Amino acid sequence: MNLRVDKYFLGIKQYLLGLESLGRKGMLLPVILLLAACSNDPVPEEAIDSLNGFGDVDVTIKVGELAPDFVSTDASGEAVTLADYRGQANVMLVFYRGNWCPFCVSHLDDIQNLFPILEKYETQLLAISPDDAKASQKLAKKFDQPYRFVADVDLTIADLYGVRRDEKIPHPAVVLIDKQGVVVWYYAGENYKQRPSSEQLQRVIEQHL
């Protein structure tokens, strides 16, 4: 895991070292268990191999159809329009619950390993959440890679894709869109502790782009 995700993981590491230096090794186990509990499980292999997308929630998108267009703003306040990428780049949408969610931060941290593949396949990653620009800026500072964080404060984009969980957050979801604006693969899951790993997403990209 990339230690640049400091607020969540580097700080905890320093805390663990502090406990050890103070001879309080007996206090380490509960913290280690907490960290382990925040790790994501990979999704089932059938989800990665599926040609029709995979999800246990009622998504509104289909493989082979145009992805719903949307207009929003990113963490710097610039306008983001999905249609602007058509004919220019493939797009990977990553829906996450917010910067307060350690499972989401862990997933985004893992996806940093995917950026060489995203660059090779000319794919722009858009990380979408209910966070406003200020919250997204704080999260953006924790990563080395050029994520583009997109605000979906009222869950309009989540509704377009059918991944709204409730009145506040979306389900974890990943949608891969080709340069023609067509959905080529997606995953949407009820279980927020289960996300496609960077290794799994690399296979998806290599298979569909």
Looking at residue 3, its pLDDT comes to 43
Pairing of strands 90-95, 173-177: antiparallel
Q: What is the pLDDT of residues 140-198, one digit of tens each?
A: 888 878 889 999 999 999 999 999 999 999 999 999 999 999 999 999 999 999 999 99
Phi and psi based region of residue 53 (left: phi greater than 0; alpha: psi -120 to 50; beta: remaining) = left
User: Above 90 in pLDDT, residue 94?
Assistant: yes
User: Could you give phi then psi for residue 17, rounded to 5 degrees?
Assistant: -65, -35
Q: What percent of the chain has pLDDT over 90?
A: 73
Average model confidence (pLDDT) for the chain? Answer: 86
Q: What is the pLDDT of residues 8-39, one digit of tens each?
A: 444 444 444 444 444 444 444 454 444 455 67
Contact 120, 141 (CB under 8 A): no
What is the pLDDT averaged over residues 118-133?
Answer: 96
Contact 168, 130 (CB under 8 A): yes
In terms of Cβ atoms closer than 10 Å to its own Cβ (0-12, 13-18, 19+), residue 159 is middle
Pairing of strands 183-188, 54-55: parallel
**pTM for this entry:** 0.83
Based on DSSP, count helices (H) and strands (E) in the chain, helices before strands.
Answer: 8, 8
- Residues near 63 by beta carbon (within 8 Å), at least 6 away in sequence: 51, 52, 53, 183, 184, 185, 186
